[in-house]
Amino acid sequence: MKKFISSICILAICFSLNNCIAQTQSYNQKSVFMVRHSVIFKLKTSLDSAEVLNFFNAAKKLANIPGVQNFEALKQTSKKNKFEYGLSMEFATDELYNQYTNHPDHENFVQQYWLKNVEDFLEIDYSSLK
């Protein structure tokens, strides 16, 4: 009986270790990315609150474009620069990023919202150091 209980305990420990390893690998896969695309921007001061809301509602739809991961719409909290907001997203490959850039929904957003509402911006596309 003691051998049976010992065997069960050993199996439980092995299962727990395998589960921990699998979770760590899953986390590492999620945290590794090829391209992070960020735009930091200032909206035109002439926009009213409804126009700002429409802009961000349209921007959030960019998250539905295939390949987009970890989309975030952000508000600047520091006074260290002139920019007010940011959009950030990640792509697993350069190819997915390029597909996003040329996707009709992205191009429509640029034409209908970005060019009409953004006063100034900084775009950063970068990947992690290995």
Tokens of 82: 């002139």
12 and 47 in a single domain? The answer is no
The pTM for the full model equals: 0.72
14 and 51 in a single domain? The answer is no
Domain containing residue 37: 33-126
101 and 60 in a single domain? The answer is yes
Beta strands in 7-114 (DSSP E): 35-43, 69-75, 85-91
Over residues 105-118, the mean pLDDT reads 98
| pLDDT class of 24 with cuts at 50, 70, 90 | very low
43 and 91 in a single domain? The answer is yes
47 and 90 in a single domain? The answer is yes
Query: Which pLDDT value is given to residue 129?
Result: 80
45 and 109 in a single domain? The answer is yes
Cα–Cα distance list, 28 to 54, 61, 90 (Å): 36, 27, 15
Non-local (6+) Cβ contacts of 123 within 8 A are 37, 38, 39, 40
Domain count, the chain: 2
Residue with tokens 């429409």, as numbered in its chain? 54
Amino acid making up residue 50:
A
pLDDT digits (tens, 9 = 90+) for 33-91: 689 999 999 999 999 999 999 999 999 999 999 999 999 999 999 999 999 999 999 99
